[in-house]
């Protein structure tokens, strides 16, 4: 069968990741013509990549979204040339594939006498979610619509595109094309097929909600949106990313192509949540793990501002194995002497360096004083810790924070070996750190504090381009982690100096060290390397118990699933504090509300005057 593919691409930065070229290479085995239409300006590198796998690469303005890209591509190729093909496939960049070989699907579908077909379909929905119609009909989804010659050459098909109304939004695209195409042509008498029929699956939207089932049945595509969709939706629908990736691995698809793309297209915490990138590691390591880890070049780097913590630091670093090289930094010659004396007593070796300044504390010591240690090619993995005391915090919270970091990174030799082994088995992994500390600290929902605006500015300066987490960045709080040096490149290439960091008395939220603490992970993700959070069993049990209690306490005051609960809260937010207090009083104590009404009116007047300044 002579087949042509019109492949729509869009990326606001013009970057074509390898999942695209891999897909097109595999399609080339089944397509005589590959026409790529990009609704965004491409980088020169991206153009060259596409030119190697496509016959034509056409850049156009993003007018009319995907619909007009297809319409104008059909016109640009020309109906006369298209008439020479048995089948033309309109497809886009919104999926990874082929997860399973295309050949199996093409062989099956080529044997079916039909006029158009797709890989997946969306079931009918009542009422229509975008119009006043009673129903959005079952429809083949527009990420893959294959049109056979008879329909392609028909007046019906050409009239469909010639009369296409303007497309000015995503809703327009769904209403006037995606949800319309199937019924429009079926009503005209044209026949269609779906390779993986929606009626075979329990969900209304199987390609999304039943992705693991469809992959298990041999479906060759995986929607990218699963990686960056609202986790509260996945929570409600019980969609488990780990199940999906298990099917991807079973099929043999190179999963690094997925992580390379989603790492810089998804909000970090959303990606981590949707695809279950938090792991509970075991304290016992198998011999095969230890043997594989022996090949790793490992560095342990610690800022020992408090010299009396040297023994504890070295105990933790001993779990890295005998072949690890240890680098300690401290702030004065006197402390260096104390540390070296302790090392001698312990019979341990480490290179001890004095920082030029303690501005920036452990962060500057790491990025400036140990810049040579972080050069790619010298070590495979670097473990960063420091002598944490958090003297400014309450004792219980400070002690918990330190334990949370040390005991979830370096609690035992076996656990640490299992952590290091992640870097052996997952070449797309850039950084590993504990989850956000949330006992004793109000981090969850607030952890940007005063750091988001300066973080945005710093990332722009460093060339880190990825969506920011809304409220709680996925970050190594406390600045302790394991990382590949390559994951730190945007930061090490910045060549920070001690003068870039504030003086000791100005060490607070919004200052450079606190900002970098929150974007260590963003540095890794911008390099196409994912981040994982790790915990030991004891801490997983501690945190889960408190987390479950907190969630049930909050949700008991709100409706339904977390998705509905959050929506309810967001819908209430614009009213502000005073109206919320008013509504609460009116509901719980109407008489008191009536008594306090004059004071409420006065407070409201003051509030509006202040706000209008």
Give the per-residue pLDDT at 579: 56
pLDDT score for 587: 47
Q: How many helices (H) and strands (E) does the chain have?
A: 28, 19
- pTM score of the predicted model: 0.90
Element (H, E) at 74: helix 65-77
In the prediction, which pLDDT does 612 show? 46
Chain Cα centroid distance, residue 285: 29
Taking Cα atoms as reference points, which of 213, 42, 36, 191 lies closest to residue 118? 191
Segment 504-516 mean pLDDT: 86
Confidence of residue 7 (pLDDT cuts 50, 70, 90): very high
Q: What pLDDT was estimated at residue 157?
A: 99
Ranking 213-227, 318-332, 422-436, 561-575 by mean pLDDT, the lowest is 561-575
C-beta separation of 50 from 57 below 8 A = yes
* Structural domain 278-535, CATH architecture: Alpha-Beta Complex (3.90)
d(CA 259, CA 19): 10
pLDDT at 591: 57
Confidence at 467, pLDDT banded by 50, 70, 90? very high
Element of type H or E holding 503: none
341: tokens are 């004396």
Q: Does domain 3-196 have CATH number 3.90.550?
A: yes
63-120 confidence digits (pLDDT tens): 999 999 999 999 999 999 999 999 999 999 999 999 999 999 999 999 999 999 999 9
Q: What is the pLDDT of residue 509?
A: 85
Name, in order, each residue with C-beta under 8 angstroms of 578's C-beta and a sequence gap of 6 or more: 600, 603, 604, 607
Break the chain into its structural domains and give their ranges. 3-196, 278-535, 576-611
The pLDDT value given to residue 520: 98
Q: Note the pLDDT tens digit of each residue in 133-180.
A: 999 999 999 999 999 999 999 999 999 999 999 999 999 999 999 999
Mean pLDDT, residues 504-531: 93
Confidence (pLDDT) at 508? 79
Please report the pLDDT score of residue 271 as a whole number: 98
**Can you tell me the mean pLDDT for 113-131?**
97
- Please determine, for residue 484, whether its predicted confidence score (pLDDT) is greater than 70: yes
In the predicted model, is pLDDT for residue 54 greater than 50?
A: yes
Phi, psi of 136 (to 5 degrees): -95, 115
- Spell out the SS3 assignment of 274-292: HCCCEEECCCCCCHHHHHH
pLDDT per residue as tens digits for the range 206-245: 999 999 999 999 999 999 999 999 999 999 999 999 999 9
d(CA 393, CA 406): 18
In this chain, the answer to whether the domains covering 3-196 and 278-535 adopt an identical fold is: yes
Of the candidate ranges 234-238, 338-342, 440-444, the one whose mean pLDDT is the lowest: 440-444
Which residues are within 8 A (CB) of 48 and not within 5 positions of it... i.e. 6 or more apart?
Answer: none
Across 374-472, the runs of DSSP E, i.e. the strands, are: 381-386, 429-433
Instruction: Find where tokens 């890989």 sit.
Output: 119
Of 537, 296, 329, 223, whose CA–CA distance to 214 is shortest?
Answer: 223
Categorize the per-residue pLDDT at 562 as very low, low, confident or very high, splitting at 50, 70 and 90: confident
Please tell me whether the peptide bond between 115 and the residue prior to it is cis, using omega within 30 degrees of 0.
Answer: no
Position 580 scores a pLDDT of 57
If one counts every other C-beta atom within 10 angstroms of the C-beta of residue 113, the result is 8
Using the predicted structure, report yes or no on whether residue 532 has a pLDDT greater than 60.
yes
Dump the DSSP string for 112-159. Answer: S--SEEES-EEPPBSS-SSSSSS-BPPEE-TTEEEEEHHHHTSHHHHH
> Which CA distances in Å does 160 have to 78, 116, 172, 188, 520?
16, 14, 15, 11, 51
- The whole-angstrom distance between residue 163's C-alpha and the CA centroid of its chain comes to 39
Q: Which two tokens stand for residue 210?
A: 């039943």
pLDDT value at residue 566: 86
Read off the pLDDT of residues 594-609 as tens digits, 9 standing for 90 and up: 667 666 666 656 555 5
């Amino acid at each position: 069968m002579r087949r042509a593919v019109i492949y729509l691409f869009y990326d606001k930065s013009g970057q074509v990741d390898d999942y695209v070229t891999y897909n097109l290479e595999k399609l080339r085995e089944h397509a005589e013509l590959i026409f790529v239409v990009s609704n965004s300006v491409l980088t020169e590198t991206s153009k060259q990549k596409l030119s190697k796998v496509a016959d034509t690469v056409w850049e156009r303005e993003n007018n009319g979204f995907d619909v007009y890209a297809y319409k104008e591509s059909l016109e640009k190729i020309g109906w006369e040339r298209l008439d020479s093909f048995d089948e033309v496939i309109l497809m886009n960049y919104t999926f990874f594939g082929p997860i399973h070989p295309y050949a199996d699907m093409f062989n099956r579908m080529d044997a079916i006498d039909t006029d158009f077909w797709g890989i997946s379909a969306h079931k009918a929905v009542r009422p229509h979610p975008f119009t006043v119609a009673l129903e959005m009909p079952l429809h083949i989804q527009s990420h893959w619509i294959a049109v056979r010659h008879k329909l392609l050459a028909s007046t019906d098909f050409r009239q469909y595109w010639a009369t296409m109304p303007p497309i000015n939004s995503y809703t327009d695209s769904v209403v006037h094309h995606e949800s319309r195409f199937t019924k429009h042509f079926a009503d005209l008498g044209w026949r269609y097929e779906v390779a993986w029929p929606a009626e075979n699956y329990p969900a209304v939207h199987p390609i999304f909600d039943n992705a693991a089932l469809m992959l298990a049945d041999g479906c060759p595509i995986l929607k990218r949106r699963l990686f960056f969709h609202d986790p509260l939706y996945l929570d409600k629908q019980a969609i488990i990313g780990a199940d999906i990736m298990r099917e991807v691995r079973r099929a043999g698809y190179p999963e690094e192509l997925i992580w390379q793309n989603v790492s810089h297209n998804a909000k970090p915490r959303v990606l981590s949540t949707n695809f279950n990138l938090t792991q509970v590691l075991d304290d016992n390591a198998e011999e095969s793990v230890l043997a594989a880890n022996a090949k790793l070049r490992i560095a342990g780097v610690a800022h020992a501002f408090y010299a009396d913590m040297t023994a504890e630091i070295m105990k933790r670093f001993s779990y890295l194995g005998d072949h690890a090289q240890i680098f300690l930094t401290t702030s004065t010659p006197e402390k260096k002497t104390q540390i070296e004396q302790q090392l001698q007593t312990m019979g341990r070796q480490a290179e001890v360096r004095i920082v030029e300044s303690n501005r920036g504390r452990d962060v500057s010591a790491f990025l400036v004083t140990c810049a040579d240690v972080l050069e790619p090619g010298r070590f495979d993995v670097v473990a960063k810790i420091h002598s944490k005391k958090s003297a400014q915090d309450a004792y219980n919270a400070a002690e918990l924070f330190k334990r949370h970091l040390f005991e979830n990174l370096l609690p035992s030799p076996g656990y640490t070996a299992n952590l290091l082994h992640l870097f052996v088995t997952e070449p797309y992994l850039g950084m590993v750190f504990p989850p956000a500390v949330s006992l004793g600290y109000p981090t969850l929902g607030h952890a940007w504090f005063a750091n988001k605006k300066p973080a945005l500015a710093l990332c722009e300066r460093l060339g880190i381009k990825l969506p920011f987490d809304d409220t709680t960045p996925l970050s190594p709080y406390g600045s302790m982690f394991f990382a590949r040096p390559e994951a730190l490149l945007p930061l090490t290439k910045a060549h920070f100096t001690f003068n870039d960091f504030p003086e000791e008395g100005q060490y607070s939220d919004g200052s450079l060290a606190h900002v970098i603490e929150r974007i260590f992970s963003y540095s890794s993700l911008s390099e196409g390397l994912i981040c994982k959070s790790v915990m030991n069993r004891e801490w997983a049990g501690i945190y889960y118990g408190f987390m479950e209690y907190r969630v049930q306490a909050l949700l008991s005051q709100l409706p339904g699933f977390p998705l509905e609960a959050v929506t309810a809260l967001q819908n209430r937010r614009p009213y502000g504090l005073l109206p919320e207090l008013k509504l609460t009083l009116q509901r719980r104590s109407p008489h008191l509300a009536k008594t306090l009404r004059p004071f409420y009116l006065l407070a409201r007047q003051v509030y509006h005057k202040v706000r209008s300044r």
